[in-house]
Amino acid sequence: MTVTIADSASRAADVLSRPVTINGLTVPNRIAMAPMTRMFSPNGVPGEDVASYYARRAAAGVGLIITEGTYVGHPSAGGSSRVPRFHGEEQLAGWAKVAEAVHEAGGRIVPQLWHIGMVRQEGQGPFPEAPAVGPSGLRIDGTEAGRTMTQKDIDDVIAAFAEAAAAAERIGFDGVELHGAHGYLIDQFLWAGTNRRTDAYGGDPVARATFAAEIVAAVREAVSPGFPVIFRYSQWKQEAYDARLAETPEELEAVLAPISAAGVDAFHASQRRYWVPEFEGTDLNLAGWTKKLTGKPAITVGSVGLDGEFIEAFQGTGAALGSIDNLLDRLERDEFDVVAVGRALLQDPEWAAKVLSGRFDELTPYDAASLKTLS
């Protein structure tokens, strides 16, 4: 049987247009916008341009917007005064307008709550005097800087995440995502390379997951029962692309089980290339293994619709278009539930509408210049 372009277009529409439910939230299709730091929020306040940026994607068919990382209310949480914050009257008022704009466009939206931990450099904004803090005062490369977190530090950060989540529900968001990936604070606790603690927060994988699980539990308690809590994690880190939390499915289950039990409704499993198998012996990717091991809905991500890694984008490199047939195969067999799209949506706000309506010939390759504007 010959498969035509029309057949492929119809298949894409059928597979991606199915609604999906995460706790009390029903998302109208399987397409999410991946969180991508843009740095267009002076003094941490998202303005009308940020609201329009997200609303354009929602209006063009993105079912779930996951915002760029936004700092929780802890002095050491961030490293730039141009990255949005999720605390403060002016900042939250700006975010309320973002949520309203997305809803008016027909979309759903969750903020990604973020603490960068030891990635922070001395003297950076928004609070220059704040030290970098982490589980053991170690950066990803093993160098010592900042300081090791005390129990009070840990309690303060957990409270900051819970307060931000409560604020998100109060001002009209549809859920929250907790950033536990890419070598930032929560991930620094999860990874043995940066967590050398000998107390309840360090040791084996289950103990290293304690901080993440306590954040999830505090967030779960701070919001209503039906309010979705998504947890994003990765194996790789900034400056350590080969780093891994787990070498086997059993080790991965040890990490994820306590976090899942604490109240996570869905996991967002970050890979650099979604089609790469996570462990030998099966072609399941990281999101696929996450769903299999936890039974929770899973979001995949990683170079969707393109043939080059997103890491290259930050080095000024573009990327050619890539097929989504493999993605559709995996969605059809329910390997995962949602696909998060990054650079392709930066390049083209209409990407979802074009894919859902089979207008593949209108898609354009990724140009790294799209990072410079908030189009």
Q: Are 187 and 237 in contact (CB under 8 A)?
A: yes
Angle, CA 57 vertex, CA 78 and CA 91 arms, to 5°: 35
Residue from 71, 184, 201, 233 carrying the catalytic annotation: 184
Which stretches of 188-316 are assigned E, i.e. beta strand?
A: 229-237, 266-270, 298-301
Closest CA to 177 of 257, 89, 114, 235: 114
Judge whether 54 counts as a catalytic residue.
Answer: no
What kind and span of H or E run contains 22? Answer: strand 20-22
Residue 290, C-beta contacts closer than 8 angstroms, at least 6 positions apart: 252, 256, 267, 269, 296, 298, 336
Residue 291 exposed, middle or buried by CB count within 10 Å (0-12, 13-18, 19+): buried
Block residue for tokens 């109240």: 263
Kindly calculate the radius of gyration of the chain based on its CA atoms and give it in whole angstroms.
19
Q: Phi, psi at residue 235, to the nearest 5°?
A: -85, -50
User: Which residues participate in catalysis according to the annotation?
Assistant: 184
